[in-house]
Structure 1
Amino acid sequence: MLTDATRYGTLTWVPYRRRTDLLAAPVLACLEALDPDVSKYVYVTEIDPELADTAAMTEAYELPLEASSNCVLVAGRREGQERVAACVVRATTRTDVNTTVRKLLDVRKASFWPTERAVEASGMEYGGITPVGVPSDWRLLLDSRVRSGPSIVGSGVRRSKLLMPGEVLQALPGAEVVDGLARPTG
């Protein structure tokens, strides 16, 4: 990637340090804690918050769907303790909650967190939840499909998105690459 502004789709992306106003507090804190040789590959762009959902965003801004990576929060209980995972999968796939995530969390039943709970616990807005800056006591599970190539993820707020190579996702604190975390859609 370039070290200055770049075009991807119809959007202009800039190094995140140039527009920290477009990042939720936990996202900025995480990026600032990363090795600068890694974080220099993270770009941000402003979008219409009404277009924050993946399908609307990719269509409106002429972005490839396969470059978008969704972060969903999944939890289950074991011995009275809640176990939480932030799962990152390509937008062309679906998180395998009932088998893979359930086994990784070692719980009987795993479920997506309700929106209100996800927003409160992550410190991020709905439609902007991202693996960047999730709490350290959560597991951060990356489907093997996101470990390379560009990934468009949330910025913690609905009005912007982050663009980074999969290698940066792997460098996030606690990131675990999992084969079979997601299944293709359709």
Structure 2
Amino acid sequence: MPHDDRVTLPSFPTLESLPAAEHASLVAAPVAAALAGWPGAAQVAVVDIDPELADTAAMSEAYGIPMTASGNCVVVAGSRAGDERVAACVVRADTRADVNTLVRKMLDVRKASFLPVDRAVEETGMEYGGITPLGLPGGWRVLVHEALLDEPVVVLGSGVRRSKLLVPGPLLADLPGAEVVAGLGR
């Protein structure tokens, strides 16, 4: 009898999950590479979703997931003395990243702006609407909204629009390069 590695998480009974590290074909290549080298990967699941429902609000409604259990990842950049500083900000989906004050100060730049979509997609190797903090380019800071650590499971992008990662909230503090930031989401 073939082994069935599907799991239904009690928190989200509408989503059938699979161990993400064992199903690299369901995530973007940089995410699969990051999962392969990260000890926390054993606790991460991946779920197939309708790519038309990849945007957080649509996904939350369609699959019955509270916005507080979803994390949005936005990429922000600024410069100081010709030195560009980039950060991925992962905030609870019912908030917005405090880019103009907190992130700007953390990057120590005069002005912080969202990275243009085409550039974010090219540099991450991920699809727009699927960018995630796992598998980002080296040198990018990963700022994680402290509130996400309180969630039993957080739904994040997988690098592609047709799936999502399910990550235990406390594990977000252990993402490669993660900096947990109070008040990141407002």
TM-score (norm 1): 0.92
AA aligned to 1:124 is M
Is residue 27 of structure 1 aligned with residue 31 of structure 2? yes
Identity %: 60
Aligned to 2:154: 151
Match of residue 106, structure 1, among 101, 105, 108: 108
Aligned to 1:85: 87
**CA distance, structure 2, for counterparts of residue 31 and residue 147 of structure 1:** 19
Aligned to 1:63: 65
Is residue 97 of structure 1 aligned with residue 96 of structure 2? no
Q: Shift of residue 136 of structure 1?
A: 1.9
For structure 1, which runs of at least 5 residues remain unmatched after alignment? none
Q: Hey, which bits of structure 1, 4+ residues long, moved more than 4 A?
A: none
Map of 1:5-24 to 2, 5 A cutoff? 5-7=7-9, 8-24=12-28
AA aligned to 2:29 is A
Q: Shift of residue 42 of structure 1?
A: 0.3
Match of residue 169, structure 1, among 148, 172, 177: 172
RMSD over equivalenced CA pairs, Å = 1.3
Q: Larger strand proportion, structure 1 or 2?
A: 1
Q: Shift of residue 180 of structure 1?
A: 1.2
TM-score (norm 2): 0.92
For structure 2, which runs of at least 5 residues remain unmatched after alignment? none
CA contact (8 A) 1:152 1:164 kept: yes
AA aligned to 2:168 is P
SS of residue paired to 1:21 = helix
Q: Shift of residue 9 of structure 1?
A: 4.2
Q: Shift of residue 171 of structure 1?
A: 1.1
SS of residue paired to 1:137 = coil
AA aligned to 2:45 is Y
Aligned to 1:73: 75
CA contact (8 A) 1:144 1:180 kept: yes
